[in-house]
Copies of this chain bind each other. A is one copy, B any other.
């Protein structure tokens, strides 16, 4: 199958590296230097001690997406640049969106000319160079349909043992659970400047994580709170040595995904007329550290 991947952050590059084994993959970059580099040297995929160079990837810095399946892997706050281009596309396409958070979902409803799929990425990945990505945690991508009347995405085409895809009967639920974990781990690690593991190992930080968890799970209407809390702590243990993406973004003075994650929860809290003082506090803590 011909697959276009828009966005070459860690998730886009991870998808490209794995899917290129079975498919004709084109990645769309913003910068020409990056597409030149990928065309020349391929993508280097690091997994544990293994280093594979994936040569069969084309890269383009253009914006005429022609593949029948497009995987959109830009950050939530970059969708504003991409959505107009997708709307103009005349041919009906399968569009798989892989953003964190939920605040972009309403925007996607304007894409009714296409089949729109929402994916939750549960992989650990880290971009370590313009053409290098590390697969730091084995996971899965759970996929659901945005519009109820569209055909489901044929995941058997994409699925492989090392890079699994799974149908999400209820994408909103799996996205909510992903959002919940992100809401706890990302802003706290960014604020405290600690690795993920500290949130389970340091009893004071665990208390903070639990308080944030409670506000967020209340807003998301999570019913099995104990089981879900255990899952969040399990993620922290499994990724103990990882520095979260928000911590890395904060330290590098980059824009973070705080609006898509905590910003979304604040909007929901407002609709539900619920007070969430800690989420508000965390929002401003991270937002205040972003360089303008």
A284 near B208 with CB under 8 A, answer yes
A288 contacts the other chain (Cβ, under 8 Å)? yes
A105 contacts the other chain (Cβ, under 8 Å)? no
Which chain B positions have C-beta within 8 A of A192?
Answer: 191, 285, 288-289
**Interface size range of chain A in the complex:** 10 to 19
- What 4 new A-B contacts, CB under 8 Å, besides A204-B284, A278-B281? A191-B285, A192-B285, A211-B280, A278-B278
Known A278-B278, A281-B281; judge A288-B208 contact (CB<8 A). Answer: yes
The digit string for A250-292, where 1 denotes a CB below 8 A from any CB of B, is: 0000000000000000000000000001101100110111000
Interchain CA distance A193-B205 in the complex, whole Å: 17
| Nearest CB of B to A216, in Å | 13
A223 contacts the other chain (Cβ, under 8 Å)? no
Residues in A79-120 with C-beta less than 8 Å from chain B: none
A50 contacts the other chain (Cβ, under 8 Å)? no
A204 near B281 with CB under 8 A, answer no
The digit string for A189-227, where 1 denotes a CB below 8 A from any CB of B, is: 001110000000011110110010000000000000000
B277 near A204 with CB under 8 A, answer no
Known A204-B284, A284-B204; judge A211-B289 contact (CB<8 A). Answer: no
Known A277-B278, A278-B278; judge A285-B204 contact (CB<8 A). Answer: yes
Interchain CA distance A204-B266 in the complex, whole Å: 15
Which chain B positions have C-beta within 8 A of A211?
Answer: 277, 280-281
B191 near A287 with CB under 8 A, answer no
Known A277-B277, A278-B277, A281-B208; judge A288-B191 contact (CB<8 A). Answer: no
Which chain B positions have C-beta within 8 A of A288?
Answer: 192, 202-205, 208
Which chain B positions have C-beta within 8 A of A278?
Answer: 277-278, 281
Interchain CA distance A277-B193 in the complex, whole Å: 21
Residues in A155-208 with C-beta less than 8 Å from chain B: 191-193, 202-205, 207-208
| Nearest CB of B to A128, in Å | 26
Interchain CA distance A27-B192 in the complex, whole Å: 38
